[in-house]
Structure 1
Amino acid sequence: MNNNRSQTVLLAGATGYLGSYIAKALVEDKFNTKLIARSIKKLQTLENKKVKIIEAEVTKPDTLIGICEGVTTVISTVGITRQKEGLTYMDVDYKANLNLLNEAKKAGVKKFIYVSAINGHKYRHLKIFEAKEKFVDALKNSGLDYCVIRPNGFFSDMKDFLDMARKGKIYLFGNGEQKFNPIHGEDLAIICLQAIKSTRNEIIVGGPDVFTLNEIGEMALEALEKPIKIIHLPDWIRRFIIWCFRTFTSSKTYGPIEFFLTLMAEDNIAPRFGTKRLYYFFREHLK
């Protein structure tokens, strides 16, 4: 007997890095599923009797009317790292998710699961987190059951190390001994599905292995069969770069830079989960 029959899950952000893994997991676990996306081409192979593909834009509330009818749980991975197409963090991470939350409330959805990032409350001053945490506040006050999932960086973000390694050198700030454990999207998708039945309001999670930045740099160079060349820059340069970008550019430019440079400056170790290894992710990506 499939316990998931009583659940109908709506997933927003189904074509993104994490969303595509969650979509696949929902289909495999035979959930009644609604997948919404701006462009549904990528999703059409997943359509079946239990899976409905809906074209909608979360930034446009009129495209969402009635979308949550019959839905028990909403999962949103909606968010941007880099602002584009004239959309700001507030437009997407806050307002688009709020549009979805308002529809969920109208339709009597029981639970809303939102994927944010680790230590959001601590980094509210960063442009990306300002919008994410504003939505978290709205979610907490919505009256719905909710769960905020806070992953400790994605494997996909680690491609920046491969990009540096291609040029033969890895540049790090400070001594490079800052530790963290990024997670693969496939492992994180399992956590998102577990959250449907979990009673926890917040899940902080990272991958199975804790690395220093030096170790990730070495791994990236080794994956490309390059000699180990890691340049350590003094930390004041990192702080100066953030200041320059904040002072002389728009949030479109400095948002992702201040986000990565701030989070990479200290240890961020989350409870470990999953089986996917960064070493193999690098190898697969290079294929």
Structure 2
Amino acid sequence: MSLLIIGGTGTLGRQVVLQALTKGYQVRCLVRNFRKASFLKEWGVELVYGDLARPETIAPCLKGITAIIDASTSRANEQNSLKKVDWEGKLYLIEAAKAANIKRFIFFSAQNVEQFENIPLMKVKNGIEIKLKQSEIPYTIFRLTGFYQGLIEQYAIPVLENLPIWVTNENTYISYMDTQDIAKFCLRSLQIQETINQTFFLSGSRGWVSSEIINLCEQLAGQEAKVQKIPLFLLKFVSRFFGFFEWGQNISDRLAFAEILNTENNFSKSTFDLYKLFKIDSSEIIQLDDYFLEYFIRLLKRLRDINFEDVQKQKNLII
């Protein structure tokens, strides 16, 4: 089976690429900048030029392809890109995929998209879900929560650098996942007939609130966090007049999506059934506390190495 992966240089996309290569798939990646994607070529990926903003470049990329995995997305504040790439470009991609008789189209969406059409990114993702279902292309849609990788910038680095962490006053539970595990579900779906024309709500085995993640980072870093709270009603008030993502990208992204990605704080029956269908044991899934522990261990080792190099330089200067 040959795969065309879109967004292969991204946080999730590169994990999909890596695991697909490991499993022996022929992998082609649609890229706009060959230099930025050079590491993919070193892994053994075929790189082809393609740009969703330039529809004429899409069809040639699909020659000989069995399945498309779309792991790309614009940032929520990139309004021009949302319209040109995530909407118009992906509509053309769907049409080109239908013409090329693609056997499976995997699309990554977000939890609860139909409930937040006031947010442009959510409206676009929901719209693409609808168009894909109407296309008659065999599809699989994964609705995702947040990534572990994004929590490093959100929580770990501010704690380490004594910067403020912005949270709402709500206890919002989010079942984050490691992108490695999401990629595992994605690729396994290609082998399971029951996943065709289905939408799956993919989440981790437990939900976390901000305070729990902050406490975890404090314990691992050995220092206290500077927490700044913003009432959820104020967030909603501002979004109603100015739209999400218009008043400080990082803070508004995180706080707005905290509400969108709210999930149950337990390993629910639906999650259990999902793992059973994909033949994945919950013990195989990377846990958030283990992920953070590994991050801090690597970071502390790097700091020790840097400190050792500085000491050696000073000794050489003295000599």
Fold agreement, TM-score > 0.5: yes
- Determine the C-alpha separation between the residues in 1 that align with 2:120 and 2:232: 21
| Counterparts in 2 of 1:79 and 1:46: CA distance versus 1, 3 Å | closer
Deviates more, 1:73-82 or 1:143-152: 73-82
Q: Does 1:275 align with 2:270?
A: no
Counterpart of 1:41 (choices 18, 35, 41) is 35
* CA deviation string 1:160-206 (max 9, x = no partner): 2235433354332224x221111111111111101222322112112
In the TM superposition, residue 148 of structure 1 has moved relative to its aligned partner by: 0.8
Which shifted more, 102-111 or 277-286?
277-286
| 1:187 counterpart residue number | 181
SS in 2 for 1:34: strand
Deviation string, structure 1 residues 26-85 (Cα, Å, up to 9, x no partner) = 11111022111112334445448974211211221111132112211100012112444x
Deviation by residue 1:87-145 (Cα, 9 ceiling, x = unmatched)? 33222222222222122111111111001111112222211101111111110100111
- Equivalent position of 2:2 in the other structure: 8
Residue of structure 2 equivalent to 1:174:
169
Of 230-239 and 147-156, more deviation after overlay is shown by: 230-239
SS at structure 2 position matched to 1:40: coil
- Residue 128 of structure 1 contacts residue 255 of structure 1 at CA under 8 Å; is this kept in 2? no
Amino acid at match of 1:32: Q
1:210 equivalenced with 2:207 (yes/no): yes
2:71 is the alignment partner of 1:60: no
CA distance in 2, matches of 1:133, 1:149: 12
CA-based RMSD = 2.9
Matching residue's letter, 2:5: L
* Residue pair 2:29, 2:45 contacting (<8 A) in 1 also: yes
Partner of 1:105: 98
Secondary structure of the equivalent of 1:99? helix
Change (3 A) 1:33 1:240: same
In the alignment, the residues of structure 1 paired with residue 41 and residue 175 of structure 2 have an alpha-carbon distance, to the nearest angstrom, of 34
Q: Distance in 2 between matches of 1:48 and 1:167?
A: 38
Distance 1:276 1:90 in 2: 36
SS state at 1:170 partner: strand
Gaps of 5+ in 1: 1-6
1:237 paired with 2:234, answer: yes
Task: Give the superposition deviation at 1:17.
Answer: 0.8
**Secondary structure at 1:188 match in 2:** helix
1:119 and 2:116 matched: no
Which amino acid is the alignment partner of residue 219 of structure 1?
Answer: L
Contact 1:82 1:256 in 2 (8 A): no
The percent identity for this pair of structures is 18
The answer on whether the counterparts of 2:107 and 2:141 sit within 8 Å (CA) in structure 1 is yes
Other structure's SS at 1:41 match: coil
Q: 1:280: Cα distance to partner?
A: 3.1
Alignment-mate amino acid for residue 71 of structure 2: T
- In structure 2, relative to structure 1, the CA distance for the partners of 1:51 and 1:231 (3 Å cut) is closer
SS of 2:105's partner is strand
Query: 1:3 maps to which residue?
Result: none
2:138 to 142, 145, 155: 145
Query: Which one-letter code corresponds to 1:122 in the other structure?
Result: Q
2: distance between equivalents of 1:204 and 1:281?
27
2:177 partner SS: coil
Name the TM-score, length of structure 1 as normaliser.
Answer: 0.83
Q: Secondary structure at the match of 1:180?
A: coil
Higher relative contact order (CA 8 A, sep 6+): 1
Counterpart contact for 1:88–1:252, Cα < 8 Å: no
Closer/same/farther in 2, CA of residues 203 and 34 from structure 1, 3 Å limit = same
Deviates more, 1:129-138 or 1:265-274: 265-274
Q: Which runs of 5+ in 2 are unaligned?
A: 276-281, 303-319
